[in-house]
A and B are shown apart, each in its own frame.
Chain A
Amino acid sequence: MDEDIRRVAGTVLRAPFTRRTVHELLYCGVGGLAGVIGFLVTIVMLAAGLTISVSVLGTVIGLLLLTLALRVSRRLGGLHRRVVWWLLRYQVEAPPKFQPGTGILNRLDKRLRDRAAWRAVSYSLVKLPVAAVQLYATTITCIGLVDITYPLDWVLFRHQASGPMVVVFPFPLGGTFDVYGFAGTYLAAIAGAFSVLAGTWLARGINAGDRRLVRSLLGPSSMAERVSELTRTRTLAVEDSAAALRRVERDLHDGAQMRLAALAMNLGMAREKLSDDDDDARPDDATVRELLDAAHRNAVDALADLRDLARGIHPPALDNGLPSALATLAASSAIPASATADIATRPAPAIETIAYFCAAELIANATKHSYANQIKINIYTERTGVLRLEVTDDGIGGADAAHGSGLAGLAQRVSTVDGRIDVSSPPGGPTTVSVELPLKA
């Protein structure tokens, strides 16, 4: 029993001297400030948006303001998540990326129904009291630290000064008290130590609560949302593979099959020329040769068609892994391209295929639209089990994920494995498209 008490007391008393405490207190300061600012921004925009949209004339502006508030809330949520990771090493995954709708009304509707954004709003609102406690914890710890230094302070600076030293005892009903002598500064130091201890544990407690809030309000969505997300992406996956098969059929029909039919026709005609002519009349060599040439050409073209088609189904270069496949891809690019790779664990084959086709599509996009002189392809695995593909070009920029059907198609394909695409393409460039994929499908 005694030992238990001693151990607990030891933990309690040692806490202020741990590294963790430094981080917790830093988080209280930074996170608390961010919380207050976030609250103010959110409440102002929400209030403005709601009141304006209630008034008949301002509905449109109000709704726009509201959607803006939701977008900002999502951003703020991202900021909070980053701060939590940065200072507390507490990782909360981002909620699924927002899927913009098409058409003005649908876009607005999707924004207003963006659950992740609304949850971010609620975090911003709930965060205010939390932030107040966090800032309070930071403050009393700082004051405590100052109080502790009083004996030293007295010895160094105050022994001949007149007047008392004012000690702040930063608790409810605490207030301030004056110290008139060296002995009194010890009292101040004891009060300071108490403040530091209290601040430390208050910080730990409130941060634990804040972490829970961040996880539940800023993390990936609830099970129900996850299910609907999976349903949506499964539909996309099924449609995607059906479309791919249709494309293969179409390519075969218009390519190899057609050429082989023409080849058969040429050969049939040549055979007829050779057999039909009378014995005394020599077969028309020139015509037969011409027919055979055409047949030969069709055979060669059919082979090329089939090769392209096969490569489109599964690039053989992928068998040796993404780095060499992407190097091959870069080498065949019309615009000079370089590929770098740093892959610690080999991704699943399906992921490799998606990454490969993303890279191919992005290079093709850059070639078609960017007027770039140089393309850089970079692929690497991040510590968190994420495969990241970045394709950067120094072209004119202005690529738009919502309007470029190519990019939208990629985003769909990537979302079937819970991946995401980020496009940064300011007018004037450079354009960077970053594709994030899990290592396993």
Chain B
Amino acid sequence: MMRVVIAEDAALLREGLTRLLEDRGHSVCAAVTDGDMLLAAVAEHRPDVAVVDIRMPPTHTDEGLRAALAMRKAFPGTGVLMFSQYIETSYSAQLLEGGAAGVGYLLKDRVANVAEFAAALERVAGGGTALDPEVVSQLFRASRQRGGLATLTPRERQVLALMAEGRSNSAIAADLVVSGGAVEKHVASIFTKLGLPPDESDNRRVLAVLHYLGG
């Protein structure tokens, strides 16, 4: 069970998220509507993770992101899942600046797949990473290390994208419908080709990949 704080100004989504999470046995400590209230709620309830809409009152621009950054500084142990209708590369960059541990950035569309959304939130709550495929593909496009990426096979690129999203080997295997051993082989090959140090931990692996892509 996770303890969650939700910050989202649209009542429809706020209530839907609350219900979705409570249905799955998680506890929603607070559901608030702006950044200041988010910080207050996190201070009060010390949740495992916060789901934060980027655009909230009063200016409807990026107050959610700013509140999330402030929150990460004040409560480093609490995971943050940014939840937005757009993926902005500059937002992902700011968010990942302080490390990829306990950070997520998903399109609101992803909530349609309830199980995946819940899994992503659990990953973030546990100190992992959950990046939207959209974030990853933007990073791929923007990556200055195109040469390295070009040496990967299509399959390896798929695996790399899923790694960057923050998935574990077993999740990647399930997603691609291959065996765990096959994924491990792909991962090893990717790390060799890109010149990254092999690493077991999911989170440090994501960091390495992101660092490589951010190059």
A and B pair up: yes
A interface residue numbers (CB < 8 A to B): 250, 253-254, 257-259, 261-262, 264-269, 271-272, 294, 298
Q: Do B23 and A261 touch across chains, with their CB atoms under 8 A apart?
A: no
Given contacts A265-B16, A269-B20, contact A254 B10 (CB under 8 A): yes
Determine the chain A residues whose CB is within 8 A of the CB of B10 once the complex forms.
Answer: 254, 258, 262
B119 within 8 A of A: no
Chain A residues, Cβ within 8 Å of B141: none
Residue contact B114 to A253, C-beta cutoff 8 Å: no
> Is A261 within 8 A of B20, CB to CB?
no
Q: Give the interface centre of A250, A257, A268, A294 by most chain B CB atoms within 10 Å.
A: A268
Given A253-B55, A261-B85, A265-B20, also A272-B12 (CB < 8 A): no
Cβ of B146 within 8 Å of any chain A Cβ, yes or no, is no
* In the complex, chain B residues whose CB is within 8 Å of the CB of A259: 12
CA separation between A253 and B111, bound complex, in Å?
A: 16
Closest to B9 in A: A254
Tell me if B115 counts as interface (CB < 8 A to partner A). yes
A268 to B19, CA, bound (A): 12
Q: Are B115 and A272 in contact (CB under 8 A)?
A: yes
CA distance A65 to B33 in the complex (A): 54
Interface of A is mostly: helix
Chain A residues within an 8 Å CB radius of B12:
258-259, 262, 298
B150 within 8 A of A: no
Residue of A nearest to B20 (CB): A269
Taken together as a complex, chains A and B put the C-alpha atoms of A257 and B85 apart, in Å, by 8
* Closest partner residue, chain A, to B16 (CB atom): A265
B1 within 8 A of A: no
The count of residues in chain B whose C-beta lies closer than 8 Å to any C-beta of chain A is 19
Known: A258-B10, A298-B12; 13 extra A-B contacts, CB below 8 A, are A253-B55, A257-B108, A258-B85, A259-B12, A261-B111, A265-B16, A265-B114, A268-B20, A268-B111, A268-B112, A268-B113, A269-B16, A271-B114
Residue of A nearest to B107 (CB): A261
Chain B residues with Cβ under 8 A from A250's Cβ? Answer: 60
CA distance A259 to B12 in the complex (A): 8
CB B47 to nearest CB in A, in angstroms, measures 20
> In the complex the two chains form, is A266's CB within 8 Å of B16's CB?
yes
Q: Decide yes or no: A265 and B13 within 8 Å by CB, A253-B85, A272-B114, A272-B115 being known contacts.
A: yes
Q: Is there contact, CB below 8 Å, between B13 and A262?
A: yes
Residues from chain A with a CB closer than 8 A to the CB of B175 are: none
Cβ B85 vs Cβ A265 within 8 A: no
B194 contacts A by Cβ under 8 Å: no
Distance in Å: Cβ of B86 to nearest Cβ of chain A? 9
Task: Decide: A261 and B109 in contact? CB cutoff 8 A.
Answer: yes
In the bound complex, how far is the Cα of B14 from the Cα of A258, in angstroms?
Answer: 11
A264 to B117, CA, bound (A): 12
CB distance from B21 to the nearest CB of A (A): 11
B184 to chain A, nearest CB (A): 30
Question: 16 A-B pairs, CB-CB below 8 angstroms?
Answer: A250-B60, A253-B85, A258-B12, A258-B85, A261-B108, A264-B112, A265-B17, A265-B20, A265-B114, A267-B112, A268-B114, A269-B20, A269-B23, A269-B114, A294-B16, A298-B12
CB under 8 Å from chain A, chain B span 119-141: none
* Smallest CB gap from A264: residue in B: B112
Majority secondary structure of chain B interface residues (helix, strand, loop or mixed): helix
* CB nearest neighbor in B for A250: B60
Which residues of B are found within 8 Å of A264, using beta-carbon distances?
A: 109, 111-112
Distance, CA A264 to CA B23, complexed state (A): 16
- Chain A residues with CB under 8 Å of B16's CB are 262, 265-266, 269, 294
Residue picked from A259, A269, A271, most chain B C-beta under 10 Å: A269
Nearest-CB residue, chain A, relative to B13: A262
B85 surroundings in chain A (CB, below 8 A): 253, 257-258, 261
- Chain B: minimal CB distance from A293 (Å): 13
A262 and B113 CA atoms in complex are apart in Å by 12
Contacts of A266 in B (CB 8 A): 16
Could you say which residues of chain B place their CB within 8 Å of the CB of A268?
20, 111-114, 117
Least distance between B109 CB and chain A CB atoms (Å): 6
The distance from the CB of B118 to the nearest CB of chain A, in whole angstroms, is 9
Residue from B108, B113, B114 whose CB has the most chain A CB atoms within 10 Å: B114
**Nearest Cβ in chain A — how far from B11, in angstroms?**
10
For B1-40 the 0/1 string (1 means CB < 8 A from A) is: 0000000001011001101100100000000000000000
Write the B37-63 contact mask toward A (1 if CB under 8 angstroms, else 0): 000000000000000000100001000
Q: A267 to B10: give the CA distance in the assembly, Å.
A: 18
CB-CB < 8 A to A272: which residues of B? 114-115
CA A258 – CA B85 in complex, angstroms?
Answer: 8
Q: Which 4 residue pairs are nearest across A and B when measured between Cβ atoms? A: A264-B112, A268-B114, A261-B108, A262-B12
When C-beta atoms are compared, the residue in chain B nearest to A255 turns out to be B10
A286 to chain B, nearest CB (A): 14
Q: Evaluate whether A258 and B114 lie within 8 angstroms (CB atoms) in the complex, with A253-B85, A269-B19 already known.
A: no
B111 near A258 (CB under 8 angstroms)? no
Which residues of A have CB within 8 Å of B114? 265, 268-269, 271-272
Q: Bound state CA distance, A225 and B102, in angstroms?
A: 61
- Complex Cα–Cα for A358 and B108 (A): 37
